A and B are shown apart, each in its own frame.
Chain A
Amino acid sequence: MIRVRDLTIRVGSFALEGVSFTVAAGRYAVLMGKTGSGKSTLLEAITGLRPIEAGSVELLGRDVTRLKPADRGVGYVPQDLALFPTMTVREHLAFAQAIRGWDRTPTEQRVAELADLLGIDHLLDRQPQGLSGGEAQRTALGRALSFRPRVLLLDEPLSALDEETREGMYDLLRTVHRETGVTVLHVTHSLTEAKKLGDCIFRLADGKIGEMA
């Protein structure tokens, strides 16, 4: 579950004030809004990367407002994916496990499991520079899911993809959601995307948030 209460964030002259919403555990929520409405800022605040002025963030019933990003257990896929250029796809999928000191065998099993789920088995030894948009997207998704987070935050994950790849990604995101049971907050400005994927749709406008469905 994601619960945001009376959140206030200021970035220069831009401000989000008193934002509150709740995404029930296991739901696929979509957050819509125009460019510059603060969707990404809100997502960053939930990850802990953006300092907040007031309010609270609860994840799975735990108040994480004062926790560092590393301690929140949130899978995050930023809009630009931010893949690590010095690592292979395999190393991306094993990164969070290496940080947690997992042994080799469970790490390899998890990498194989993710590669199978995301259809990137054949890409494991490739560097991100040689990947197509869809392949890079799958890699970033795998990296975010690698440590089995209960909450997944996706920042406009499909905006840079062509129509055909996007259709494939809709199916993949549905499969990932169904098989992992992760609570998803997916930011987009596309109503089609929101309707195809979302159990519930929120709209952010003029610094206020409202539920559409």
Chain B
Amino acid sequence: MSSRRRGTTPSTGRSDVPFLVALGVMGGFYVLLIVGMLVADVLSTTPGHLWALLKNRDIRYSIKLSLISCTITAILSVWVAVPLGYLLSRYQFRGKALLDVLLDIPIVLPPLVIGLCLLILFSTPPGRGVQQFVQVTYAIPSVIIAQFAVAAAFAVRTMRVAFDQISPRQEQVALTLGCSRSQAFWRVVLPQARQGVLTAGTVAWARAMGEFGPVLVFSGTTRGYTEVLPTTVFLELSTYSLEGAVAVSVLMVIVALVVLLIVRVYGMGSAPVGGR
């Protein structure tokens, strides 16, 4: 029999190195870009500059408002993302496709337009009615609403994927064991979606931290009042203080990194071992 039969065994002598190098090179450009931006930012400022910033009362207020508003936004986003993500993942209902598209609108619309839409909403009779009790436009609540309007859409997408990855079979078994739909959700599904909830909250928090367009239009740029960190960068740039803008940017990177790292470490510690 001929030893030159073709296609009987795959070639084993070929190296995987070119494939891995190609993956590394193709993806590496993006990683380099991020690292390059961060290094350039860090090299453009000094610890003295950062220290001076931290001593500035307005900047300290801006950091505080950013941290508080982003945290409230993240909590509110998870609050709406969990039920919406679960409904979209598990149920078929009339208007589901429309709801799906609707939830993408905050993601695809330019941020400035979101801010404009919010401004118009709160100048309609119902919006003015709300403002008779709580001042929203150009006040602190507007910062949270502007961040929430965009961040929640990302949280909903994250939660839907999280629920999609959990087999509905376990809920079904829980139903046969005596659970109502609600009990099956709270006792069986949500504990499994814990990592997803954490990710959705983190995504919403990070998204809110970077949100500027809607905040600019809906909240204005009042120093020491509706000023969050992106607003500070804008205000520094508008007064031609590039050094100040860079220093605030570095501060934002540090704050974001610290918070994301804490969440990541906490999240890994709380994830079920080998959880599906």
Encode contact with B along A93-123: 1 for CB under 8 Å, 0 otherwise: 0011011100000000000000000000000
Nearest CB in chain A: distance from B89 CB, A: 17
Complex Cα distance A143/B191, Å?
18
**Which residues of B from 155 to 191 have beta carbons under 8 Å from A?**
167, 169-170, 172-180, 183, 187-188, 191
Complex Cα distance A95/B184, Å?
11
B183:A85 contact, CB within 8 angstroms: no
User: Residue of B at shortest CB range from A99?
Assistant: B178
Number of A-B pairs whose CB atoms are under 8 Å?
A: 75
Q: Which residues of B contact A68 (CB under 8 A)?
A: 175
**Which residues of B from 239 to 276 have beta carbons under 8 Å from A?**
272-276
**Which residues of A from 141 to 180 have beta carbons under 8 Å from B?**
143-144, 146-147
Chain A interface size band reads: 20 to 34
| B142 interfacial by beta-carbon distance below 8 Å | no
**Which residues of B from 194 to 208 have beta carbons under 8 Å from A?**
194
Q: Which residues of B contact A47 (CB under 8 A)?
A: 172, 176
Instruction: Identify B167's interface contact among A69, A74, A82, A96, CB under 8 A.
Output: A82
Q: A82-B170, A86-B272, A127-B273 are in contact. Are A147 and B192 (CB under 8 A)?
A: no
Nearest CB in chain B: distance from A139 CB, A: 12
B169:A82 contact, CB within 8 angstroms: yes
A84:B170 contact, CB within 8 angstroms: yes
A143:B177 contact, CB within 8 angstroms: yes
Q: A84-B188, A127-B272, A129-B274 are in contact. Are A78 and B178 (CB under 8 A)?
A: no
Interfacial residues, chain B to chain A (CB-CB below 8 A):
167, 169-170, 172-180, 183, 187-188, 191-192, 194, 272-276
